[in-house]
Amino acid sequence: MSLQSKTALVTGSTSGIGLAIAKALAGAGANVVLNGFGKPGAIEAARSGIESEFGVKAHYSGADMTKPEEIAAMVAQAEQAFGAVDILVNNAGIQFVSAIDEFPIEKWDQIIAINLSSAFHTMRAAIPGMKKKGWGRIINTASAHSLVASPYKSAYVAAKHGIAGLTKTAALELATHKITVNCISPGYVWTPLVEAQIPDTMKARGLTKDQVIDEVLLKAQPTKEFVTVEQVGALAAFLCTDAASQITGANLPVDGGWTAQ
Ligand code: NAD
């Protein structure tokens, strides 16, 4: 499989799942545009590391996914630098946990903006270029929470169900343009974000590390194993192949059986 003449823009790719997707696509030969927040030194190390490890070009955009004009400028800059955005991965996302009646309004707005509306803005900006080339791949990182709910995650679950609907609509609109649109729905993935929650949860609930993992984090995941970021990256790369050209409008769980229950 080669994505050698392609360019992939991956939002929220300075860490975790997005970075692994960017690496998987670069590993298949695509040039990549990284996006997200973080320490400048760490971002530059990730960017230059991708260039040297995979022999592709890697750019970085610090566009804020809550700002439609920055999103449009990011897509325009990528098109200018590489000639096209062939592969668009909408991955940026945040979480906030609270009861609905106590949920801060600004957190609701921020989650809907980053986890849902940013995908509309990137797609709106990138689809004309894909149509012109007659080829494209749009992959949205949804979540098991695009299929089922958990309490206290109202904004996240609403945004993730929303992105599943946006995926289906875009797939239908683009079906005859050789542009596929799918979402990947991970269960619990072992990322720095998840790892960092463990000490606090141990303290708050008086549990051991293993108990936190089994009884809290992996409670809903029948395999009792975390998904790895590499497994999500590999599926994203597969969705960019010709073998996947008839997979469109799908919501693909990678969740150890969570949503089978
Ligand atoms: P992460 O915190 O490691 O990565 C999130 C990325 O989004 C980072 O690069 C961050 O800088 C970026 N980001 C946050 N706000 C942004 C903004 N305003 N503008 C631009 N970039 C912004 O988290 P992760 O676990 O890798 O999550 C990535 C995606 O996967 C999210 O959409 C998340 O909902 C989804 N997901 C994660 C899990 C999990 O268990 N980790 C499970 C299912 C779905």
One domain for residues 142 and 157? yes
One domain for residues 182 and 203? no
Identify whether 243 is part of a domain.
yes
One domain for residues 244 and 219? no
Contacts of residue 210, Cβ cutoff 8 Å, sequence gap at least 6: none
Token pair of 12 as six digits: 């929220």
The domain of 211 spans: 190-226
Pocket test for ligand 1, best of 19, 33, 75, 94 (most atoms within 8 A of CB): 94
What angle do helix axes 229-239 and 16-27 make, rounded to 10 degrees? Answer: 50
Residue 1: which pLDDT band, with cuts at 50, 70 and 90? Answer: low
One domain for residues 136 and 207? no
DSSP class per residue in 131-150: HHHT-EEEEEE--GGGTS--
**156 is an active site residue:** yes
Query: What was the pLDDT predicted at 216?
Result: 85
Q: Is the pLDDT of residue 194 over 90?
A: no
Residue 200: which pLDDT band, with cuts at 50, 70 and 90? Answer: confident
Q: pLDDT per residue over 5-26, tens digit each?
A: 999 999 999 999 999 999 999 9
One domain for residues 92 and 221? no
Atom of ligand 1 nearest to the CA of 65: 19
Q: How far is the CA of 191 from the centre of ligand 1 (A)?
A: 9
Query: What was the pLDDT predicted at 204?
Result: 83
Residues above pLDDT 90, as percent of the chain = 90
Instruction: Tell me which of 60, 152, 156, 188 is the catalytic residue.
Output: 156
Does ligand 1 come within 6 angstroms of the Cβ of 14?
Answer: yes
One domain for residues 55 and 173? yes
Query: What was the pLDDT predicted at 203?
Result: 87
Residue 199: which pLDDT band, with cuts at 50, 70 and 90? Answer: confident
Does ligand 1 come within 6 angstroms of the Cβ of 251?
Answer: no
One domain for residues 145 and 41? yes
Q: pLDDT per residue over 34-79, tens digit each?
A: 999 999 999 999 999 999 999 999 999 999 999 999 999 999 999 9
Q: How far is the CA of 90 from the centre of ligand 1 (A)?
A: 10
Identify whether 2 is part of a domain.
no
One domain for residues 68 and 150? yes
Residue 223: which pLDDT band, with cuts at 50, 70 and 90? Answer: very high
Does ligand 1 come within 6 angstroms of the Cβ of 258?
Answer: no
Question: Mean of the per-residue pLDDT values for the chain?
Answer: 96
Does ligand 1 come within 6 angstroms of the Cβ of 236?
Answer: no
One domain for residues 49 and 112? yes
Report the CATH number at residue 136: 3.40.50.720
One domain for residues 149 and 252? yes
State the alpha helices, DSSP H only, in 28-140. 40-54, 68-82, 105-112, 118-133
Does ligand 1 come within 6 angstroms of the Cβ of 186?
Answer: yes
In the chain, how many domains are there? 2
Rounded to whole angstroms, how far apart are CA atoms 221 and 257? Answer: 6
One domain for residues 254 and 208? no
